[in-house]
Amino acid sequence: MNDELLQKLVATDLFRGMAGEDVRSLMAHAAVLTVAADQPVFEAGAQERALYVLLEGSVEIALTVPFVQEQILDELNAVSVFGESSFFHAGPHSVTVRSLTECTIARLERADYDQLLVSNNPTACRMGANAAEILAAKLQRTDAWITELLQTEEAHRIQQKWWDFRQNLGHAFDNPTRGGFSVGAGLQR
């Protein structure tokens, strides 16, 4: 790993607070892959536990939702990290990551990371703490997005109810059995 790339990695959130040699030592446990343009790095549903660091190139993150077209969630460029959800939680990938250009990617297997943790490697522990912060920030952004979505849905529901009320208001005088307001409703002669 050249010094320029190492300095870029040290500047990322995943490796925040680590010395260059610590990052180099940790990345020595990662396999370096070359992925051709327009090829999947991994696909949704795949069961694997690995953390990916995009060293060169760019990838897109795609989500497939039943009955909806595939949605591109993000595009990542060099020294971005992805795959952390399945790396830290044993579960299938929820997205597909596809190369947009030829990419060079470092892939750290969870089993290799676990061996570093067993040996009380402080760099691995620091990386785990940094990853927890990254995941917590993503979770908070997701919560904010869900809140906004629910507020939009509620506003739409209220708007529809108001529209229905206004539509029925004009007819209430014509048919007192429909409910709403009517002249003489409840009056007995």
Residue 102 domain flag: yes
Helix (H, G, I), strand (E, B) or coil at 88: helix
Residue 103 domain flag: yes
pTM over 0.85: no
Walk across the sheet containing 40-42 and list its strands: 40-42, 96-99, 58-63, 71-77
Write phi, then psi, for 133 (nearest 5 degrees). -65, -40
CB atoms within 10 A of CB 50: 23
Residue 101 domain flag: yes
Residue 189 domain flag: no
- CA–CA dist 54, 35 (Å, integer): 11
- CA–CA dist 58, 44 (Å, integer): 18
Residue 164 domain flag: no
Tokens in use for 119? 């040996």
Check residue 67 and give its pLDDT: 87
Residue 22 domain flag: yes
Q: Tell me, what CATH number does 26's domain have?
A: 2.60.120.10
Q: Is the dihedral of CA 118, 123, 126, 131 positive or negative?
A: negative
Residue 49 domain flag: yes
Walk across the sheet containing 31-35 and list its strands: 31-35, 103-109, 50-56, 80-82
Residue 188 domain flag: no
Averaged over successive runs of 10 residues, the pLDDT of the chain (189 residues) comes to 85 91 93 96 95 95 90 93 92 96 96 95 94 90 89 86 81 57 50
Number of domains in the chain: 1
Residue whose token pair is 């990371």: 113
Range of the domain at 105: 3-143
